[in-house]
Amino acid sequence: MSTENPPPEQAASSSEDAETTPASDAPKGGSGKLLALLFGVAAVGLVLDVITKIAVVAHLEGNPPLKVLGGLFYLDVLRNPGAAFSMATGLTWLLALLAIAVVGVIVWLAPKLRSPGWAVGLGLVLGGACGNLGDRLFRAPGPLQGHVVDFLSFLAPGGQVFPVFNVADSCITCGGILVVLLSLLGRDYDGTVHRKQKKADQS
């Protein structure tokens, strides 16, 4: 009886069956530190947002825009009934409910985190969402209808160049970009890393 080795073409094709291979690069049992990182980042973002809003409302609301950093930004206080960057201005109550849902999803996902990058990204989103949600719940004209305090206008007052925003909007945007970037790089929230295998040369 004779045995034959599989042809090279078959061996090459078998190496191409899976284009990605998951491998955990985060240590097990690190969820406690990652929870602290996530909620710590969220707390810093929330505190900065609240403090800056209190300060600008107390000292700048009703006054002409204030130029800072040589005109890179203008402090121009506006009340925004819509989403980040003044979108969906007629759906304040829906945006408040959406923010509550986002906070709930992040809190539910938090114990499953095994990626420091995801912890930072979701922490930024959480802090920003809580900051603007606080405005919608506690500011005029009423609960779920409150207008968000925006005050950062880029390059020109009144949002002439870019919509007026606040610290919470910045946190949400930066956190979202970080999460999308990590996803594109194949890094999941649970620490799994997906790597594409190089296809075997069939020449």
Residue 107's φ and ψ, nearest 5 degrees, are -65, -40
How far is Cα 196 from Cα 189, in angstroms, rounded to an integer?
18
Which of 143, 142, 145, 167 shows the shortest CA–CA distance to 54?
167
- As a 3-state breakdown, the chain gives helix, strand, coil percent values, each rounded to 5, of 55, 15, 35
Q: Catalytic residue, from 76, 169, 188, 190: name it.
A: 169
Extended strands (E) in 8-133: 20-24, 66-68, 73-80
Tell me if 121 sits within 8 A of 178, measured CB to CB.
yes
Residue 25 a catalytic site member: no
Residue 190 a catalytic site member: no
Q: Catalytic residue, from 25, 150, 188, 201: name it.
A: 150
- 38 Cβ contact list (under 8 Å, min separation 6): 106, 110, 113, 119, 120, 122, 123, 126
User: DSSP string covering 122-137, please?
Assistant: HHHHHHHHHHHHHHHH
Catalytic positions: 150, 169
